[in-house]
Structure 1
Amino acid sequence: MTQWTVHGTRRIYESEWMSVDLDDVEIPDGERFEHHVVRLPHPSTGVVVVDDDNVLLMWRHRFTTGTWGWEIPAGRCEANETVEAAAVRETEEETGYRVRVEPLITVNPLNGISSHTTHIFVGTGATKIGEPDPAEAAKVEWVPLSEIPAFIRKGLIPCGITLAALTTYLTLRTAGSEPPSGPHRAG
């Protein structure tokens, strides 16, 4: 087996949101060096909210990359919160819709430098209960799932979590391994 060995960890930065460590690692050929690792104290969630052939997306700006793009509702779990509860809460806060959630996939978006995990759910039964948080998105829209491949090709979905979630959902749907779709949303 070609597995790296961790001999120790030295924390170089820590906040309530994240820590950055230097791990003393040894690769299979015997070379040893320090490797940066970003660790987050809580997992994140994302939700592919669907209604028939539509998906609920948010158009938002990310200052970190200087880009605009479509994203699914997503966010981190709070302390002592289940990933399911966080998924429902984040969807409600960011879009104004309450949903039921079922697991879709779990991903490690930057597994070469981070231990962080994101749990992706499918949200169904969307019921509008309020307005979205204007700090989260410029607009929230129902987009036909048939438009998602063109959005991806045009670079309109730059978020890796959103790409993983939507392509997984569409792949399972196309392959006949139907992901959850649930009843129609109430308006």
Structure 2
Amino acid sequence: MDFTEKTISGERIYSGKVINVDVEEVGLPNGKTSKRELVRHPGAVAVIAVTKENNIVMVRQYRKALEKEILEIPAGKMEAGEEPHVTAGRELEEETGYKPLALKKIASFYTAPGFCDELVHLYEADIDKPGRPFTDEDEFVQVEEISLQEAEEAVQQNLIHDAKTMYAVQYLRLRINEQ
């Protein structure tokens, strides 16, 4: 069976700094039609950075959509025409002050494919000494370095509550268990 939904018509109902929102009428595989509300996102990167002391570099920030602060691995939106590895290096340095010595791509994944096309590219970074973060004027973060055990406890306590960071914690645990 072909599950493809063919777009019949569409309208952009919102154009923003980070996302656009489209409403599309689609033809369904059974011949009927339906509406789809779609969030369009330029893509993002996230970076797993571990210090020489084996601490994970995290940022603590308030997330308005959640109405709470959470711990996250450094991440950010890709700029138009920017390659993911360039975004990864830029975001790591801007948010934490750490400049990557090397970047290794781990995976790419969709965050919410039921309504959003955001694709996150996950990298692991080799880092050295921290510099000074230089975040955007509307971005407020606190850099923290925590152990893998502390990160796993933060997941259990819902202090780490986003998929990219939970994925990173699991990735690091698996990597350590394989050694």
TM bucket, shorter chain:
0.7 to 0.9
- Superposed CA offset, 1:38-57 (max 9, x none): 002x2100101013532101
How high is the sequence identity, in percent, across the aligned residues?
24
Q: Which position in structure 2 is the counterpart of 1:136?
A: 140
Moved more, 63-72 or 28-37: 28-37
Q: Is the CA contact (8 Å cut-off) linking 2:22 and 2:39 kept in structure 1?
A: yes
Q: Which position in structure 1 is the counterpart of 2:63?
A: 62
Q: Tell me: CA distance 1:2–1:15, structure 2 relative to 1, closer, same or farther (3 Å).
A: same
Q: Tell me: CA distance 1:15–1:132, structure 2 relative to 1, closer, same or farther (3 Å).
A: closer
RMSD across aligned C-alpha pairs, in angstroms? 2.1
Q: Which position in structure 1 is the counterpart of 2:88?
A: 87
Q: Which position in structure 2 is the counterpart of 1:185?
A: none
Report the Cα distance in structure 2 between the residues aligned to 1:168 and 1:10, rounded to whole angstroms. 40
Moved more, 105-114 or 1-10: 1-10
Q: Which position in structure 1 is the counterpart of 2:160?
A: 157
Q: Which position in structure 2 is the counterpart of 1:104?
A: 106
Q: Is the CA contact (8 Å cut-off) linking 1:44 and 1:83 kept in structure 2?
A: yes
Q: Is the CA contact (8 Å cut-off) linking 1:59 and 1:70 kept in structure 2?
A: yes
Is there any run of 5+ residues in structure 2 with no aligned partner, and where? Answer: none
Q: Tell me: CA distance 1:29–1:14, structure 2 relative to 1, closer, same or farther (3 Å).
A: same
Q: Is the CA contact (8 Å cut-off) linking 2:148 and 2:172 kept in structure 1?
A: no
Report the Cα distance in structure 1 between the residues aligned to 2:176 and 2:4, rounded to whole angstroms. 37
Q: Tell me: CA distance 1:146–1:20, structure 2 relative to 1, closer, same or farther (3 Å).
A: same
Report the Cα distance in structure 2 between the residues aligned to 1:150 and 1:123, rounded to whole angstroms. 23
Q: Is the CA contact (8 Å cut-off) linking 1:43 and 1:117 kept in structure 2?
A: yes
**So what's the TM-score if we normalise by structure 2?**
0.86
1:123 equivalent to 2:131? Answer no
Q: Tell me: CA distance 1:107–1:35, structure 2 relative to 1, closer, same or farther (3 Å).
A: same
Determine helix, strand or coil for the equivalent of 2:50. strand
Moved more, 157-166 or 125-134: 125-134
Q: Which position in structure 1 is the counterpart of 2:30?
A: 29
Q: Which position in structure 2 is the counterpart of 1:73?
A: 74
- The residue type equivalent to 2:110 in the other structure is N
Report the Cα distance in structure 2 between the residues aligned to 1:60 and 1:76, rounded to whole angstroms. 16
Report the Cα distance in structure 2 between the residues aligned to 1:120 and 1:111, rounded to whole angstroms. 17
Report the Cα distance in structure 1 between the residues aligned to 2:30 and 2:173, rounded to whole angstroms. 40
